[in-house]
Chain A
Amino acid sequence: MNDDPAQRHSAFRFHGNWQEFARIAFPNLLLTIVTLGIYRFWATTREREYLWSKTDFIDERLEWTGRGIELFIGFIMVFLLIGLPIIVIQFISQGLIFRGQTAVAGIVTIAMFVLLFYLSGVAYFRALRYRLSRTYWRGIRGGSNNPGFGYGLSYMWKNFVGVLPIFLLVPWSMISLWNERWNSMSFGPHSFESTARWQPLMKRYLLFYLVPFLLFFGAITLAVAAATSGADIGALGGAGMAVGGILVVIAILGLYIILPLAALAYYSKYFRIAVGGLRLHNLEFEFRARAPNWILFFLANMAIVICTLGIGYIFMPYRNWKFFIDHLEAYGEINIDELTQSETVVSKHGEGLLDAFDVGAI
């Protein structure tokens, strides 16, 4: 049995609608409030069950089999293994400061932050692993046998190297980490291969990187020019100064509008290149959202949240998933007979680490 997704409109399709999602999201919100937040693990699970079950890949829906209790256990583990030690360390370092041992306190605090940074790398990895291992398609799931501790080290040194040359190698570290993460993952019997290249990202990155400088120096030059030309004429000196001031204001506003736009433009290219470098056996992937799609997506999200006085926030998981699936595409062939069950280990705890550090999986 062979399916050729190229013949179809799109290999991935999303059939959900927000009214149905609302019937899940509002009770979730209510239960989350009355349980002082504890229900949110079950809430996340219900939302994913819905989103996955409304997502077609070729001819069968996806299935989310993660459980709320797994996320809850993950959270408890983080609280005991990381939360409590941090409180103790803070207490100790406060005591050290009281005693005038500021240097020792500083070292303890820095060591704590390094450890947290390492763990957040591990968390990224494990979240992706967890999500793949709980995602089923035709009774087959994904996963990884790598626990992600080595990835945590890569995460530390690659980010460090990326930032070191005045942040210029950030695209390299992002793509390199993406490849490393996905190369450890598999679905069914097949490993993912990720060979995204970072070089094509540099132009966009430099655009984003240089925006603040260009805006800043452009505004200064204009302002100085306007102010001095105003001064030359003498009588119009005050007006020239005013024009200069207005230009500075415009530049500052520009920084708040143009900089996020440049960041989105970069991110859209990053995501396109990263997903485009991904392969699963004979399947290739593509992410078709371009910068304008991302910008509209974010503006709409902001409008929804603001116009509903924040309540619209509960629809963000729905919007994110819909955006992701609507723009995701796969090409190639799947041999259904060859697609056998994954033999990767299944961990019993969820994204506790990830929850604690508040980062996204993809």
Chain B
Amino acid sequence: METFFNVWHYDGRSAVRRKVEIQTIGRQFFLLENERRHGPFAFSDVEYVTRKEDVDVYGLTDVDGWRLMLSGPVPDELSELLPVQRKYGGWVDRLGLGKATIAFTLASAAAVAIVLLSPQWLAPLIPDSIDRQLGDALVGDFGGRFCSTPAGDAALKKLVNSLDRNPQDLQVEVAKIDMINAVALPGGKVILFDGLVKQARSPDEVAGVLAHEIGHVREKHVMQALLRQMGLAVVLGGVDGNSGALVNNMLAMSYSRESEAEADAHSMKALGTANISPVGTASFFDRLSELDGSARDGDNGQGIAGYMSSHPLSRARKQAFEKSIVKGRNYKPALTPTEWTELKTMCTQDRKAKSGFGFEFE
């Protein structure tokens, strides 16, 4: 077949450029260069490489650097035998840019939705033994920071028993760390920091916070958060570092807010069942709101800060706990004055427990 367009060839063995003509014989072809004839080559081995300006470049399977370069109007008989060009990549070229964009958007949305929603169903399916092993692996003996005295332990046990129906699954400890905080960890572990116990004005306050952390345990929030973080790390792994981390944090935060609200609800219910007044917890959040500044900001500040932060603002939580007070109900204090003193001074009495922290918690 005579050609009127330009064909150039590199054989991949040397850099010599050869002006050739294509001679097609069935599904095969030869390249004719003056006196020489290269080939035969099979059209099925030809693959599209790239386009340089107005030149289409083809290669040959398994022959490194073999090139067939066509410019000018390629005859239809020939172009039918050549592989199709690649632009965006296989899938996008097959669907077209518009459809591919829609398909990818839906697939991405589905992936994110699965990662965000599935932990709620997956977390309860994780056996308790794994949960417990994870908690043990993570916490161990907390570096010897747990405080223990017979009377203090008894007071703490009474508090836990009054707030939960299955206290045997829980391991509640007071740690000798001077921070106003408490954490729920995998395996039903709840750690109250001594700083929180010391500054509390009544056992009811500690009961409210403890019930909140038990809420995290019962609602499987820790395992959910772990699964969600792992899923997001995989799904957003393809996104560039900063924007991925930002999206990840925003999503994690909003879920964490939801969890906090659930734990608060659990706490109010548990307090109600135990006949402990939520007034103490409300006043605890009142004092916290002075620390985090939500008391001063007024309603304007609440919108932004309340949405962006992981915990609902202390002021809003205080109001929620105040609302749950049943007027005229005869609440009982969570602990007797003696028990309360024992709990409060437990870490001071226990000289064996190590103090301090050197690391930060949420």
Expressed in whole angstroms, the minimum distance between the Cβ of B70 and any Cβ of chain A is 14
The total of interchain contacts (Cβ-Cβ below 8 angstroms) comes to 137
B238 and A36 form a contact (CB under 8 A): yes
Q: Annotate B2-31 by CB proximity to A: 1 below 8 A, 0 otherwise.
A: 000000001111111100000000000000
* Cβ-based interface call for B344 (8 A): no
If the complex has contacts A31-B92, A42-B89, A49-B50, are A60 and B236 also in contact, measured as CB distance less than 8 A? no
CA distance A64 to B86 in the complex (A): 14
B53 and A139 form a contact (CB under 8 A): no
Interface residue range, chain A: 35 or more
* Cβ-based interface call for A38 (8 A): yes
For B12, list chain A residues within 8 Å (CB): 139-140, 341
* Cβ-based interface call for B291 (8 A): no
Q: Annotate B241-262 by CB proximity to A: 1 below 8 A, 0 otherwise.
A: 1001000000000000000000
If the complex has contacts A60-B17, A341-B14, A341-B65, are A35 and B104 also in contact, measured as CB distance less than 8 A? yes
For A65, list chain B residues within 8 Å (CB): 49-50, 59
For A334, list chain B residues within 8 Å (CB): 15
Q: Which of B16, B59, B104 contacts A34 (CB 8 A)?
A: B104
* Cβ-based interface call for B142 (8 A): yes
* Cβ-based interface call for A235 (8 A): no
CA distance A269 to B237 in the complex (A): 37
Interface residue range, chain B: 35 or more
* Cβ-based interface call for B240 (8 A): yes
B14 and A35 form a contact (CB under 8 A): no
A98 and B65 form a contact (CB under 8 A): no
For B359, list chain A residues within 8 Å (CB): 97-98
CA distance A37 to B12 in the complex (A): 35
CA distance A96 to B140 in the complex (A): 9
If the complex has contacts A36-B108, A53-B53, are A31 and B14 also in contact, measured as CB distance less than 8 A? no
For B144, list chain A residues within 8 Å (CB): 100
A31 and B15 form a contact (CB under 8 A): no
Expressed in whole angstroms, the minimum distance between the Cβ of B92 and any Cβ of chain A is 7
If the complex has contacts A35-B104, A140-B65, A336-B15, are A61 and B145 also in contact, measured as CB distance less than 8 A? no
Expressed in whole angstroms, the minimum distance between the Cβ of B189 and any Cβ of chain A is 11
For A54, list chain B residues within 8 Å (CB): 53
If the complex has contacts A37-B239, A53-B53, are A99 and B64 also in contact, measured as CB distance less than 8 A? no
| Centre residue among B64, B105, B143 by max chain A CB count within 10 A | B64
* Cβ-based interface call for A141 (8 A): yes
B142 and A99 form a contact (CB under 8 A): yes
Expressed in whole angstroms, the minimum distance between the Cβ of A61 and any Cβ of chain B is 5
Among residues of A, the one whose C-beta sits closest to the C-beta of B103 is: A34
Q: Annotate A140-155 by CB proximity to B: 1 below 8 A, 0 otherwise.
A: 1100000000000000
CA distance A179 to B354 in the complex (A): 55
For A37, list chain B residues within 8 Å (CB): 236-240, 244
Q: Which residues of chain A have a CB within 8 Å of any CB of chain B? A: 1, 15, 27, 30-31, 34-40, 42, 45-46, 49, 53-54, 60-61, 63-65, 68, 75, 79, 83, 87, 91, 94-95, 97-102, 136-141, 188, 334, 336-337, 339-342, 346, 358
